[in-house]
């Protein structure tokens, strides 16, 4: 088996996939569209604005990854920021359902 070939198997494909800026740009566009949808459809509720803040944090993490997705420490910090945004969004979404 030749393990030096590019994209040999699923793991190599995912590794190459994660080193592309286009992937993170598409994720940023999706998050921005979701934040825009929440802005247009909300009636300025405090809980929805907290979700928008969480989406903004996720966008900041993805923006940091886009700087250079091939450097591990930058990608790790971006992932951790995005994870914090997801945790905040889940907490605030849970508060929305509590009413």
How many Cβ atoms sit within 10 Å of the Cβ of residue 3?
Answer: 7
DSSP state, residue 22: H
Give pLDDT tens digits for 30-83. Answer: 988 988 887 777 665 666 777 888 888 999 999 999 998 888 899 999 999 999
What is the model's pLDDT at position 82?
A: 93
Tokens coding 96: 């929305």
How many CA atoms within 13 Å lie on the side-chain side of 28?
16
pTM here is 0.76
């Amino acid at each position: 088996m030749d393990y030096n070939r590019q994209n040999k198997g699923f793991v190599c494909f995912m590794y190459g996939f994660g080193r592309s800026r286009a992937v993170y740009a598409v994720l940023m566009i999706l998050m921005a569209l979701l934040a825009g949808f929440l802005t247009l459809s909300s009636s300025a509720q405090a809980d929805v604005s907290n979700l928008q803040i969480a989406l903004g944090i996720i966008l900041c993490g993805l923006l940091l990854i886009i700087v250079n997705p091939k450097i591990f420490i930058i990608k790790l910090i971006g992932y951790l920021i995005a994870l914090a945004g997801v945790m905040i969004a889940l907490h605030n979404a849970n508060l929305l359902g509590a009413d």
